Structure 1
């Protein structure tokens, strides 16, 4: 068992277990499928156990493979901690960081933080994935994403640590030329008669909206659906109906008096802007630096827009 702790083999093992495929793991790692198979054969020989059951194209962990999985994770995480401890704190950051987010945040809040991070850490490679909330949680859970940014209900899972949480209003909004602008209060039934533009079905805040409307006995049928929030905001600015969006996404347009909030009577929904990482993941210097920039941005959002219920967790 002289090759018991072979980090390359352990990493390959984890990637196969997470992706459920030798081929997918080879694509992720940049190895040939044959090289991946050889590494696993050698690892199984070193350990004296069978790690995977191969059923056609399907790959599943054996009981022994499932038992070995958390140890492989811990060994690789400990390796990261050792490398990190040997780096002097004043040395420039290097390495990589993998960020996952949703389209709404990628178009609005994210570019500013990414630009500042690059200016401070030009030697760090940043990989950005734009995903659905479900894909983000899966990516962080399987260690394919280091940090995720999303808009959703507060995360209550013990598997994740919330570095930032901001509760913000989700508002009905439209061009200042919309016929409902200027009213002190608008009945929900009245605004629903007008054309609307929404994010794609089952996205976080649209799901919250539709659930609330359903509880009240209403439905909503958009004329346009798009996961691209920038497109939605541009269409609103051209007076193409109304939308329902987290307030901070349209704050610049509100300040410029291009868009207006439509005051809907007795209708209040909120969403949480959250930055999360896996609980048992080692937070390296790259992650710490990026999270601190996100905290800084969140504190500015809180002061500027008077948001409440902001929670920061110290690293």
Structure 2
């Protein structure tokens, strides 16, 4: 089987359009159509169907797409491990894209100096979908924020402990107090992330435990948007401390002085326990998991990180 056919298959699925896929691949549209037809003949199924002017995979097409992604990843992995190449790519899947955007750039800077020809793709996943994506081979690494987890098929490596804090606009009445307790949140307007997230579960557990009655003003699936709403006085919210450091230091947001045990979760990388890791991927994991907080301050500014 020609691997080009699988690449074309994934590109058509990505754009849901033969013409767009052909432009991105640099092929004539007739060539893309011919390649998909070859796959349909090979597997004896219809791979795409036209719905609302878009080419969407059939149920059989969805299955083939997952296999195509695995086959191409194995091919890239074989080039790196067999030929000792330092080119290729790997994919990180995460639901916590906002928090990751704060943490990742320094690591990428240091990693890029050692492996300039490795491409890293970050794929946003649905809540609680990281384990499934790793086991299905849809991503090489997973990035999660949760309590310590255990799965016989996966390896979890803790990067750091993340504290979550309640923040509000500086002129919020509770920000002026020297200390508050959960009951002080009675009647408050609160901003929440979309239902199901670990951050929201932490907050709701505390509110329920202390019978706090509140108004849910907005549900937003993006920490940055929640933060902006809080800055404009639309309510208070619980956010990772890492994401509000700048705003609390320059006075745009205030951390409410809550007298309550700290909200803390572990920031973790995870990967398949039986996956043979490439040299670049091994180095990336080591960089993220074994770099001390002090060393992180200089990441991307020096070339002290050396490949294994």
Using structure 2 for the length normalisation, give the TM-score: 0.68
- Match status 1:227 vs 2:230: no
Q: Tell me, which stretches of 5 or more residues in structure 2 are unaligned?
A: 15-20, 22-31, 45-57, 62-66, 298-307
Structure-2 change in CA distance of 1:290 and 1:134 (3 Å):
same
**Cα shift readout 1:94-152 (whole Å, capped 9, x = no counterpart):** 11111112233244223443344445433222222112232322211211111111222
- Match status 1:27 vs 2:20: no
Query: Which residue of 76, 89, 97 maps to 2:90?
Result: 97
- Match status 1:274 vs 2:274: no
Alignment of 1:225-304 (within 5 A): 225-295=219-289, 299-300=292-293
Do 2:80 and 2:87's aligned partners in 1 also have CA atoms closer than 8 Å? no
- Match status 1:36 vs 2:26: no
What is the match of residue 130 of structure 1? 124
Do 1:132 and 1:203's aligned partners in 2 also have CA atoms closer than 8 Å? no
What is the match of residue 208 of structure 1? 202
Q: Tell me, which stretches of 5 or more residues in structure 1 are unaligned?
A: 1-5, 16-22, 42-56, 61-68, 305-314
Runs of 4+ in 1 over 6 A off after TM superposition: 23-26, 301-304
Q: Aligned equivalents of 2:42 and 2:214: distance in 1? A: 53
Q: Aligned equivalents of 1:116 and 1:232: distance in 2? A: 30
Q: Aligned equivalents of 1:140 and 1:173: distance in 2? A: 34
Corresponding residue pairs, total: 265
Q: Aligned equivalents of 1:202 and 1:301: distance in 2? A: 34
Do 2:192 and 2:219's aligned partners in 1 also have CA atoms closer than 8 Å? yes
Most deviating of 128-137 and 213-222: 213-222
Structure-2 change in CA distance of 1:281 and 1:25 (3 Å):
farther
- 1:223, distance to aligned residue in structure 2 (A): 1.1
- 1:262, distance to aligned residue in structure 2 (A): 1.2
Structure-2 change in CA distance of 1:274 and 1:250 (3 Å):
same
For the residue of structure 1 that corresponds to 2:228, the secondary structure is helix
For the residue of structure 2 that corresponds to 1:280, the secondary structure is coil
Q: Tell me the C-alpha RMSD between the 2 structures.
A: 4.1
Q: Aligned equivalents of 1:246 and 1:276: distance in 2? A: 20
Using structure 1 for the length normalisation, give the TM-score: 0.67
